[in-house]
Amino acid sequence: MIRLSLSVLSIGFAVALGGPGRGQEVKPKATPAAKDEKEADKAIPVWPDVAPGSEKWTRKELVTGSGDRRTVRNVVQPTLTPFLPKKEKANGTAVVIAPGGAFRFLSWDNEGTKVAEWLSERGVAAFVLKYRLVDTGATDAEYQKSMQELSKSMREPGGPFEHPETKEVAELAAEDGRQAIKVVRQQAEKWGVNPKRVGIMGFSAGAVVATRVGVRHDKDSRPDFVAAVYGAPMRDYNVPADAPPLFVLFAKDDGIGVQATELHKKWKDAGRTAELVTFESGGHGFGMSKRDKPTDGWIEGFHKWLTAQGYAK
């Protein structure tokens, strides 16, 4: 059973930390989170054509914030933005990164590009996934209404992930994650990646995407490892016999993240490899932000785990 006593506060803090403010429509030729044309040119489509399941969507993608605090919402066409290590540093491992945002927005930098830059500097090819999201409207008022509806759903049986619209989009986002794994493998030689060393990691809602990929995949979309950072668990799922190694991390004062103990337990009960890392404090949505909390150095721990699994050597 999912308990969400602190979830509303956690989501509210995550929005305050990196959530959308006043929207600005992005020019069609640019990726929604492009700092400049160079970054825009790097983004590649996840699907060869219109993403299946959302062919009739008419919403317009928006970017908010600036600098390294950008967020994206109303995603229709998923993309991957690669951050590749220098050839002399590359170790052949690749990670697809799914930022969080309650399936209403993507914390593009704090849980995306800054993570990717850190990993690429240490030899890991990183790909930030822009996956499909719930329509939050074109105005600030519509966005606020959408977030209020999300908060209301948290108090209902089953929580936010049983909300029909969220549930539908979460599955489409997971399809984007599976396809992203395939794309990285298909272009592995071009990017200097070993197709047998391609994993996925996600934050909050992005962790739900990552774990859905970890438990429901085919041969070509099976990730070689999964990392779930302060992600709420799914409901009604089984851990398959071929489930990849799992890395779970959260702070104990996070009402959403602590529920990931269930995910870790199910992995272990299935006889699969799973690592659980917890911190006494740090809250939800910390990402790459430095807040003078124990969570500040979390990514070093993830890198050590990758090394122990043989993926960061």
Per domain, the residue ranges of the chain are 7-308
Residues listed for the chain: 313
Task: Check if the beta carbon of residue 233 is closer than 8 Å to that of residue 259.
Answer: yes
CATH code matching the domain that covers 7-308, chosen among 2.40.50.460, 3.30.70.1450, 1.10.3720.10, 3.40.50.1820: 3.40.50.1820
Those residues whose C-beta lies under 8 Å from the C-beta of residue 219, and which sit 6 or more positions away, are none
Residues of the chain with pLDDT under 70: 1-41, 156-162
> What sign has the CA pseudo-torsion 124, 98, 216, 231?
positive
pLDDT tens track for 13-68: 344 334 554 444 433 333 444 555 566 668 999 999 999 999 999 999 999 988 88
pLDDT at 164: 79
**Rounded distance between C-alpha atoms, residue 296 and residue 212, angstroms:** 27
In angstroms, the CA 144 to CA 137 distance is: 9
State the pLDDT at residue 38.
60
HSE, side-chain direction, 13 A CA sphere, residue 68: 11
Pairing of strands 79-83, 44-45: antiparallel
Which pLDDT score, from 0 to 100, does residue 97 have? Answer: 98
